[in-house]
């Protein structure tokens, strides 16, 4: 399914639909896929009914393993070989029909569960990676282990939910079918069964009342322990340099001990419940026989009827006692539902924040210069409009707790008017860049970017990593509020610690603008499969706005431009895969990040101490390459050498809590400034 056709309101006319309440492009199972899923569910239900029917026939007619005992015994005693052969053929026929149905039911159920899990995983990852929800969860430590909820909890939820649904369906059919048999044998036996099952359910609920909370905590503690091990793997070099093995061992043992203690409580609770359920299930073999035995001794029924009543009793009691037999599974399932519900509410709140009033908090506005009314009579754009890139109006940046970092900042940044942001550590320099990048929204004021218009008439850049429509509110001047995709507007952000993706060197260079192209063609094949909703569809609207994809020659040249050409000989080719965060030094990673920047060719880049690991010679060379490419940059840094590459200096001092005065100053960088430094 492509995105080649759009309606006038910006909604795709294919299987996707734009959700007004969430403002995101949703990826439901499209009409053909939804039909397939429903057909598969109907098949599973039909097979479940078939297995119940076969069980009923076994008990009442052919091979219940109960009444046929009489038939076999009688046939052997009377030596009627014809009847014995006929009865044996009934057995074999029932097995030939029943076994494939039982096996197919299990296979169909597992396949449907896997399909459901695949769709839910895509659905949750779509929401997790949209509107920077993953960043908010991690930076604010809102919930624990979102990765575990997506991987383990979703798998457990889909499998258990489907299993319970089929179990309940089977129980209802069983109850209807076998109740008639049991009631026809001896009505008081049915009353005994009802009282027995109600009492057993009440006792099992009492004994297992703590299982839900214990299972919830066990999921959390196991995930915390696993996350600690992952942290050791990811930071192996740093830990080795610090010789921090003993400390890491202590921290890991603390987490494991916490999981161990909780598991001990869980086992005690499960043990108490198991003692009761074991006795409860063993009495099934005695109770119906004890109730029906007087009728056998009086000669009213045969021994086979007792066996038949026992089988029917156990079937119906199993239906009435679902809670008794599945208390542990139900409690674990309830814990999974609680964890997924907590995660789901958080993702919903993240979307509701995204669509809150733009006047609340910091407003990011992307102004389309071509749509502004102040055009010359010949249709050209005024010089001052072409030059202006960023306009910050009365910006106050605050921490989530409300502490002011930057107060009432107002400034204009024009093209090639490179800005250096300096100040003491903790004064809010990086927070200012985060606000400009859309990661920080607490505070007030406006940040207006004038970067849609490109002088070379090249389309704007789009990372398009997550296939989402940009969430905007347009005004009469063509301004777009709160875009979800920064690179789409020609703005690039380079953090101090570059992100190294999993994949080849080619994928490192093409990230994030052409990342999906590199991934889909990394092995020379296109992704295939029976679940098309697992394939990320490209947004043709944004695809048309991307610059042309760099060739292999372009990638080799940009490595030379950032003085990394030698790594090709070290790693054989561009299509070699490594753990790049370990294979490359931090300085090499920073130069690789600048290679991405030069390939992307944005109009504005935000640099957060992005050359901190480079020597001065490489730092000079990198800044010369950026300026040569015509890219305007805003840098945060402490080095005095940075003054040589910038034209203005924004100094931010630590904000005094008792003062409401601005804590910033701006000055031009000239020879006198450099001399004073």
Q: Please report the pLDDT score of residue 430 as a whole number.
A: 87
391: Cβ–Cβ under 8 A, 6 or more apart, which residues? 412, 413, 446, 447, 448, 450
| Residues listed for the chain | 677
pLDDT tens digit string along 276-335? 888 877 777 677 777 777 776 776 666 666 666 777 777 677 777 777 777 878 888 888
Question: Is the CB of residue 12 less than 8 Å from the CB of residue 5?
Answer: yes
Domains of the chain, start order: 34-353 (1.20.1560.10), 363-370+386-454+484-518+548-668 (3.40.50.300)
- From residue 401, alpha-carbon distances to 6, 109, 395, 439, 443 in Å are 43, 49, 17, 15, 11
pLDDT tens digit string along 406-456? 999 999 999 989 999 998 988 888 889 888 888 877 888 999 888 654 444
pTM for the model = 0.67
Q: Please report the pLDDT score of residue 462 as a whole number.
A: 33
449: Cβ–Cβ under 8 A, 6 or more apart, which residues? 364, 365, 366, 367, 389, 390, 489, 491, 604
Rounded Cα distance, 294 and 226, in Å = 60
Q: Please report the pLDDT score of residue 243 as a whole number.
A: 82
621: Cβ–Cβ under 8 A, 6 or more apart, which residues? 562, 563
Rounded Cα distance, 129 and 513, in Å = 16
Lowest mean pLDDT among 132-141, 142-151, 394-403: 132-141
- Maximum distance among all Cα pairs of the chain, rounded to whole angstroms: 122
Q: Please report the pLDDT score of residue 466 as a whole number.
A: 31
pLDDT tens digit string along 327-364? 878 888 888 888 888 888 888 887 666 555 555 688 88
Helices vs. strands in the chain: H and E counts, helices first: 25, 15
Q: Tokens at residue 308, please?
A: 């038949």
pLDDT above 60 for 604? yes
DSSP codes of every residue in 160-229: HHHHHHHHHHHHHHHHHHHHHHHHHH-HHHHHHHHHHHHHHHHHHHHHTTTHHHHHHHHHHHHHHHHHHH
Mean pLDDT of 155-165: 87
Rounded Cα distance, 1 and 15, in Å = 7
Q: Please report the pLDDT score of residue 22 as a whole number.
A: 40
pLDDT tens digit string along 239-260? 887 788 888 898 899 999 999 9
Instruction: Detail the DSSP E strand segments found in 467-619.
Output: 479-481, 491-494, 503-504, 577-578, 604-608
Percent share of the chain, pLDDT over 70: 71
pLDDT above 70 for 189? yes
Rounded Cα distance, 626 and 630, in Å = 7
Mean pLDDT of 138-153: 83
Lowest mean pLDDT among 77-86, 111-120, 566-575: 77-86
pLDDT above 90 for 127? no
Mean pLDDT of 3-29: 38
Mean pLDDT of 630-647: 90
Q: Please report the pLDDT score of residue 401 as a whole number.
A: 77
DSSP codes of every residue in 470-499: ----B-TT-EEES-S-SGGGTEEEE-SS--
Q: Please report the pLDDT score of residue 358 as a whole number.
A: 52
pLDDT above 90 for 593? yes
Q: Give 350 or 267, the one with higher predicted confidence.
A: 267
Q: Please report the pLDDT score of residue 219 as a whole number.
A: 85
Q: Please report the pLDDT score of residue 482 as a whole number.
A: 40
Determine how β-strand 577-578 pairs with β-strand 503-504: antiparallel
Percent share of the chain, pLDDT over 90: 14
Among all chains, which residue has been given the structure tokens 């309606």? 7
Say whether 295 sits in a helix, a strand or coil. Answer: helix
Q: Please report the pLDDT score of residue 622 as a whole number.
A: 94
Q: Give 544 or 495, the one with higher predicted confidence.
A: 495
Q: Tokens at residue 413, please?
A: 């940044």
Determine how β-strand 664-668 pairs with β-strand 604-608: unpaired
Arithmetic mean of pLDDT over the chain: 75
Closest CA relative to residue 196, chosen from 314, 308, 28: 314
Q: Tokens at residue 143, please?
A: 């919930």
Lowest mean pLDDT among 4-18, 143-157, 369-383: 4-18
Residue 673: band (very low, low, confident or very high) from pLDDT cuts 50, 70, 90: low
Q: Please report the pLDDT score of residue 260 as a whole number.
A: 93
Q: Give 502 or 20, the one with higher predicted confidence.
A: 502
Closest CA relative to residue 66, chosen from 303, 230, 261: 303
The angle formed by the CA atoms of residues 563, 500 and 340, to the nearest 5 degrees, is 165
Q: Please report the pLDDT score of residue 277 as a whole number.
A: 81
Rounded Cα distance, 164 and 463, in Å = 42
Residue 472: band (very low, low, confident or very high) from pLDDT cuts 50, 70, 90: very low
Mean pLDDT of 207-236: 86
Among all chains, which residue has been given the structure tokens 């069980």? 55
274: Cβ–Cβ under 8 A, 6 or more apart, which residues? none
Q: Which helix (H) or strand (E) holds 673?
A: helix 671-676
Q: Tokens at residue 344, please?
A: 């789901």
Give strand pairing partners of 607: 494, 635
Q: Please report the pLDDT score of residue 365 as a whole number.
A: 83
pLDDT tens digit string along 650-662? 999 988 877 778 8
Among the ranges 35-49, 191-205, 232-246, 496-510, which has the highest mean pLDDT value? Answer: 496-510
Say whether 419 sits in a helix, a strand or coil. Answer: strand
558: Cβ–Cβ under 8 A, 6 or more apart, which residues? 509, 550, 595, 598, 599
């Amino acid at each position: 399914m492509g995105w080649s056709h759009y309606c006038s309101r910006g909604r795709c006319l294919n299987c996707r639909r734009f959700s007004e309440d969430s403002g995101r492009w949703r990826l439901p199972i499209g009409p053909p896929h939804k039909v397939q899923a429903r057909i598969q569910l109907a098949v599973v239900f039909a097979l479940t009914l078939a297995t119940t029917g076969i069980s009923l026939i076994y008990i009442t007619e052919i091979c219940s393993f109960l009444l046929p005992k009489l038939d076999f015994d009688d046939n052997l005693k009377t030596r009627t070989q014809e009847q014995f052969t006929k009865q044996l053929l009934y057995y074999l026929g029932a097995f030939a029909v029943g076994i494939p149905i039982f096996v197919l039911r299990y296979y169909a159920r597992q396949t449907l569960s896997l399909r459901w899990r695949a769709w839910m995983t895509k659905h949750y990852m779509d929401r997790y990676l949209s509107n920077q929800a993953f960043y908010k969860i991690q930076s604010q430590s809102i919930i624990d282990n979102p990765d575990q909820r997506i991987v383990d909890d979703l798998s457990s939820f889909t499998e258990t939910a489907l299993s319970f649904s089929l179990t309940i369906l089977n129980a209802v059919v069983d109850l209807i079918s076998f109740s008639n048999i049991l009631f026809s044998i001896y009505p008081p036996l049915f009353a005994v069964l009802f009282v027995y099952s109600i009492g057993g359910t009440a006792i099992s609920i009492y004994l297992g009342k703590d299982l839900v909370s214990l299972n919830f905590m066990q999921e959390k503690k196991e995930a915390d322990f696993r996350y600690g091990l992952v942290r050791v793997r990811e930071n192996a070099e740093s830990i080795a340099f610090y010789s921090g093995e003993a400390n890491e061992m202590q921290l890991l043992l603390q987490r494991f001990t916490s999981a161990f203690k909780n598991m001990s409580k869980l086992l005690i609770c499960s043990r108490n419940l198991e003692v009761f359920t074991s006795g409860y299930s063993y009495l099934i073999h005695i109770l119906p026989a004890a109730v029906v035995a007087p009728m056998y001794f009086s000669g009213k029924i045969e021994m086979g009827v007792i066996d038949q009543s026992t089988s029917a009793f156990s079937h119906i009691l199993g239906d009435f006692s679902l809670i008794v037999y599945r208390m542990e599974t139900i409690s674990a399932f309830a814990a999974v539902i609680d964890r997924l519900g907590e995660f789901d509410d958080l993702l919903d709140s993240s979307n509701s924040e995204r669509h809150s009033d733009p006047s609340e908090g910091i407003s990011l506005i992307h102004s389309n210069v071509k749509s502004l009314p102040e055009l010359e009579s010949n249709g050209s754009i005024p010089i001052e409009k072409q030059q202006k890139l960023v306009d910050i109006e009365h910006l106050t940046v605050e921490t989530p707790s409300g502490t002011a970092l930057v107060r009432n900042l107002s400034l204009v940044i024009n093209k090639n008017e490179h800005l250096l942001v300096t100040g003491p550590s903790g004064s809010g320099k990086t927070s200012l860049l985060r606000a400009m990048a859309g990661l920080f929204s607490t505070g007030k004021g406006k940040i207006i970017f004038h970067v849609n218009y490109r002088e070379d008439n090249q389309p704007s850049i789009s990372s398009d990593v997550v296939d989402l429509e940009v969430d905007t509110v347009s005004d009469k001047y063509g301004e777009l509020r709160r875009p979800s995709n920064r690179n789409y507007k020609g703005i690039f952000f380079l953090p101090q610690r570059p992100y190294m993706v999993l994949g080849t060197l080619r994928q490192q260079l093409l990230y994030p603008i052409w990342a999906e192209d590199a991934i889909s063609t990394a092995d020379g094949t296109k992704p295939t499969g029976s679940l098309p909703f697992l394939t990320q569809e490209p947004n043709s609207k944004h695809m048309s706005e991307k610059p042309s994809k760099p060739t292999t020659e372009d990638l080799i040249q940009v490595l030379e431009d950032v003085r990394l050409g030698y790594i090709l000989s070290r790693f054989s080719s561009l299509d070699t895969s490594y753990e790049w965060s370990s294979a490359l030094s931090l300085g090499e990673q920073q130069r690789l990040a600048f290679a991405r920047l030069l390939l992307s060719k944005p109009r504005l880049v935000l640099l957060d101490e992005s050359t901190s690991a480079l020597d001065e010679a490489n730092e000079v060379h990198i800044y010369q390459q950026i300026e040569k490419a015509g890219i305007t940059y805003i840098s945060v840094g402490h080095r005095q050498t940075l003054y040589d590459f910038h034209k203005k200096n924004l100094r931010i001092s630590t904000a005094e809590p008792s003062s409401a005065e601005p804590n910033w100053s701006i000055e031009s960088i000239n020879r006198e400034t450099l001399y004073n430094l």
